[in-house]
A and B are shown apart, each in its own frame.
Chain A
């Protein structure tokens, strides 16, 4: 069982993706199946960018054992009032500045869903959001 944690700064797009990049290196070192690494990295990156784009600060916690990779992102932020709506392809509350950079197209959460085996999102408006992504190592 291995545990890693990386902080995520809200609003700092210069560092967006750095936690996912660390995660990719770790999974490569552990010789995880490249097809699984690809999925995990897409889901982790999108979830990391969501914290950067929407929250004030957050933390990504990664737990790996012989059966699964579990990624939990806990943020302090505005929260999501309607998770069902947020999950819809194309729905976004991102700012115009964020959209100009090519983010905020409403594809992030759908990407996370299609690249995870299990996804759970809990959120409290005005407090923050927790996203839990699980990918299994065995087919």
Chain B
């Protein structure tokens, strides 16, 4: 499933990196600790977090993640948004909490 389809089905706002909406999604990972994501997220995962700084994109790029979802209405800091555009890794937004959006993404990917 592509990031674009997930954004549409989960009603996510595209906050940056729209040039990466065709990235293929293979799974998800929910964490606010960067080393946890670095150590355990798989390539092609969507990362669900409340961290809004540029280092999120550095980790996403190094791990070949498909997209980032910011929870609870958080928005990326300007340099995070800029790097998201550069790396073609979309940052998507939801007003929901991590638990809820993780469950929805899990169901969506399992039902694929």
**What's the minimum C-beta distance from A28 to chain B, rounded to whole angstroms?**
11
Q: A21-B62, A102-B33, A107-B33 are contacts. A42–B54 as well, Cβ < 8 Å?
A: no
**What's the minimum C-beta distance from A86 to chain B, rounded to whole angstroms?**
14
Q: Could you say which of B35, B39, B54, B63 contacts A103, with CB atoms under 8 Å apart? A: B35
| Chain B residues with a Cβ under 8 A of chain A | 32-36, 38-39, 43, 49, 51, 53-55, 58-59, 61-63, 79
Q: A101-B55, A102-B51, A105-B33 are contacts. A14–B79 as well, Cβ < 8 Å?
A: yes
Closest 10 CB pairs of A and B: A17-B58, A107-B35, A111-B39, A102-B34, A105-B33, A102-B51, A41-B62, A102-B32, A102-B33, A108-B35
A132 within 8 A of B: no
Is the Cβ of B33 less than 8 Å from the Cβ of A16?
no
Is the Cβ of B62 less than 8 Å from the Cβ of A17?
yes
Q: A21-B62, A102-B32, A102-B34 are contacts. A42–B39 as well, Cβ < 8 Å?
A: yes
Per DSSP, are chain B's interface residues mostly helix, strand or loop, or mixed?
helix
Query: How far, in whole Å, are A36 and B102 apart by their CA atoms in the complex?
Result: 29
Most B CB atoms within 10 A — which of A14, A16, A101, A115? Answer: A101
Per DSSP, are chain A's interface residues mostly helix, strand or loop, or mixed?
helix
Q: Could you say which of A16, A107, A115 contacts B58, with CB atoms under 8 Å apart? A: A16
Is the Cβ of B55 less than 8 Å from the Cβ of A111?
no
**Count of chain A residues with a beta carbon within 8 Å of a chain B beta carbon:** 24
A42 to chain B: which residues have CB within 8 Å?
A: 38-39, 62-63
Query: How far, in whole Å, are A49 and B36 apart by their CA atoms in the complex?
Result: 14
Query: How far, in whole Å, are A115 and B58 apart by their CA atoms in the complex?
Result: 18
Query: How far, in whole Å, are A46 and B33 apart by their CA atoms in the complex?
Result: 12
Please give me the residue from chain A that is nearest to B57 by CB atom: A17
**What's the minimum C-beta distance from B24 to chain A, rounded to whole angstroms?**
15
Please give me the residue from chain B that is nearest to A24 by CB atom: B62
Query: How far, in whole Å, are A16 and B53 apart by their CA atoms in the complex?
Result: 12
Is the Cβ of B54 less than 8 Å from the Cβ of A14?
yes
Query: How far, in whole Å, are A46 and B34 apart by their CA atoms in the complex?
Result: 10
A115 to chain B: which residues have CB within 8 Å?
A: 39
A91 to chain B: which residues have CB within 8 Å?
A: none
Is the Cβ of B55 less than 8 Å from the Cβ of A17?
yes
B54 to chain A: which residues have CB within 8 Å?
A: 13-14
Query: How far, in whole Å, are A123 and B35 apart by their CA atoms in the complex?
Result: 22
